[in-house]
């Protein structure tokens, strides 16, 4: 058998053949033979492999929402109860095709005298700076000046918000260790991170409830108190609820879809699934039940923009957002939905699909 054949046979039988452990090079140097086993290198590689597998279970988690995969890494152990149970439906296995990486550190470096760059925004809870290829978010309290230290959380983003490094102080460390955290980033909401990232993926978050009604994505749009949860509740028996308070709208090559999120309101039913968007309803509480088709593109864009979830606003972000909203206005029927709590408006919604959505008003 040639040395190459010996090497191939030996390599194929190795449990760690996919690891770059340098066995062949070491074999050649120590024995003058590519196929000679080097037991100590095998033991080291095996230990590294076991460590990495353990770390994947204890220090990393992956989640997927709106077609975006988020990997959370932590210096501290991530327990099963570290994050709120609402994330469980969005948790995935694997570590490939990561869109956003969040790394939590639980020590605060000495930032005294640090140059954070140009101050772009300052209103509690954030002072936002831009420096070079980074955004820097510094947590501040009411009455605190942007340059005041200490801060219990300082976050560094790259320009497209795909790489996030978060330095957490003692208070945030205590919060993390207590568990049941409602945000992957330990922010007041993960929308602070997702809103600026999603527009780069032809997507945005909106104040809306969403359901999958027999393969039709229905969106109920409105701010707090408009009746999103009420509307979703009316559809519950005949639909799959995606979320009753925040929905991601994303333009895919084949269609515009709505995706469920973990940011629910009164109804805890949530789903990571999606549905092709077939109708948008702007909510108006009333003493009657009526659907009015909105024909004005300007009115649709205005209403939808007013209910979009905003992170740090820039000119580029607004341009991308408005372009996406215009796509929705051009391709999806939109209605003003006047409704009371009787549930009678459900019959009118069902009639839309029976009549082919040519417009319906009672």
Does residue 48 lie in a domain region? no
Host H or E run for residue 48: helix 39-58
Average pLDDT score over residue span 140-158: 91
Does residue 157 lie in a domain region? yes
Does residue 49 lie in a domain region? no
Q: What is the pLDDT of residues 6-15, one digit of tens each?
A: 545 554 555 5
Asked if 24 and 147 sit in the same domain, the reply is: no
State the burial class of residue 249 (Cβ atoms within 10 Å of its Cβ: 0-12, 13-18, 19+).
Answer: buried
Asked if 262 and 338 sit in the same domain, the reply is: yes
Structural domain boundaries, residue 139: 60-188
Residue 11 has what pLDDT? 47
Return the beta strands (E) in the chain as ranges: 60-65, 68-74, 91-92, 100-105, 118-123, 126-131, 134-139, 153-158, 163-168, 203-213, 216-221, 240-243, 246-251, 256-260, 274-285, 290-293, 334-339
Does residue 360 lie in a domain region? no
Asked if 228 and 329 sit in the same domain, the reply is: yes
Per-residue burial over 181-194, b if 16 or more Cβ lie within 10 Å, else e, is: bebbbbbebbbbbb
Asked if 156 and 262 sit in the same domain, the reply is: no
**Average pLDDT of the chain, as a whole number:** 88
Does residue 285 lie in a domain region? yes
Asked if 263 and 158 sit in the same domain, the reply is: no
Does residue 278 lie in a domain region? yes
Predicted structure pTM score: 0.84
Asked if 154 and 271 sit in the same domain, the reply is: no
Does residue 53 lie in a domain region? no
Asked if 174 and 125 sit in the same domain, the reply is: yes
Q: How confident is the model at residue 32 (pLDDT cuts 50, 70, 90)?
A: low
Residue 187 has what pLDDT? 96
CA dihedral 264, 258, 155, 80 (to 10 degrees): 50
**Does the pLDDT of residue 48 top 90, yes or no?**
no
Residue with the bigger pLDDT between 83 and 148: it is: 83
**Does the pLDDT of residue 77 top 90, yes or no?**
yes
Asked if 126 and 160 sit in the same domain, the reply is: yes
Does residue 226 lie in a domain region? yes
Q: Domain tally for the chain? A: 3
- CATH code of residue 298: 3.40.50
Asked if 240 and 348 sit in the same domain, the reply is: yes
Residue 21 has what pLDDT? 52
Residue 361 has what pLDDT? 40
Residue 341 has what pLDDT? 86
**Does the pLDDT of residue 359 top 50, yes or no?**
no
Q: How many beta carbons lie within 10 A of that of residue 110, not counting itself?
A: 8
Asked if 113 and 231 sit in the same domain, the reply is: no
Among the three residues 128, 162, 188, which one is the final residue of a domain in this structure? Answer: 188
Average pLDDT score over residue span 331-344: 94
- The full length of the chain comes to 362
Asked if 175 and 201 sit in the same domain, the reply is: no
**Does the pLDDT of residue 257 top 60, yes or no?**
yes
% of residues, the chain, pLDDT over 90 = 76
Q: In whole angstroms, what is the distance from residue 360 CA to residue 362 CA?
A: 7
Asked if 142 and 272 sit in the same domain, the reply is: no
Per-residue burial over 310-333, b if 16 or more Cβ lie within 10 Å, else e, is: ebbeeeebeebbeebbeebbeebb
Query: Which of 88-97, 159-168, 223-232, 290-299 shows the lowest per-residue confidence on average (mean pLDDT)?
Result: 88-97
């Amino acid at each position: 058998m040639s040395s190459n054949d010996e090497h191939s046979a030996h390599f194929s039988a190795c449990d760690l053949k996919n690891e770059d452990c340098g066995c062949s090079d070491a074999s050649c140097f120590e024995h003058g033979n590519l196929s000679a086993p080097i037991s100590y290198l095998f033991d080291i590689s095996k230990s590294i492999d076991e460590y990495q597998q353990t770390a994947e279970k204890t220090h990393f988690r992956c989640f997927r929402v709106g077609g975006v995969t988020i990997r959370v890494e932590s210096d501290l152990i991530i327990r099963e109860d570290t994050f709120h149970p609402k994330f469980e439906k969005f948790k995935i296995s694997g570590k490939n095709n990561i869109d956003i990486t969040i790394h939590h550190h639980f020590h605060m470096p000495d930032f005294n005298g640090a140059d954070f760059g140009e101050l772009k925004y300052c209103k509690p809870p954030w002072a936002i700076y831009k420096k070079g290829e980074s955004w820097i978010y510094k947590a501040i309290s009411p009455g605190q000046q942007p340059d005041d230290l200490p801060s219990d959380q300082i976050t560094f983003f790259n320009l497209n918000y795909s790489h996030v490094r978060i330095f957490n102080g003692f208070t945030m460390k205590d919060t993390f260790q207590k568990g049941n955290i409602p945000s992957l980033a330990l922010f007041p909401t993960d929308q602070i991170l997702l809103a600026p990232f999603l527009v780069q993926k032809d997507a945005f978050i909106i104040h809306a409830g969403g359901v999958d009604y027999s393969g039709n994505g229905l969106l109920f749009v409105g701010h707090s108190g408009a009746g999103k949860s009420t509307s979703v509740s009316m559809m519950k028996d005949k639909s799959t609820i995606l979320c009753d308070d925040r929905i991601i709208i994303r333009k895919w090559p084949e269609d515009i879809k709505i995706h469920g999120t973990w940011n629910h309101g009164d109804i805890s039913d949530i789903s990571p699934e999606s549905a092709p968007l077939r109708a948008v309803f702007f909510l108006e509480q009333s003493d009657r039940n009526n659907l009015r088709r909105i024909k004005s593109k300007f009115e649709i864009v205005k209403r939808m923009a007013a209910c979009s979830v905003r992170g740090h606003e820039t000119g580029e972000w607004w341009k991308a957002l408005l372009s996406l909203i215009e796509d929705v206005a051009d391709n999806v029927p939109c209605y003003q939905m006047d409704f009371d709590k009787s549930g009678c408006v459900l019959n009118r919604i069902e009639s839309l699909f029976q009549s082919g959505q040519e417009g319906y008003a009672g």
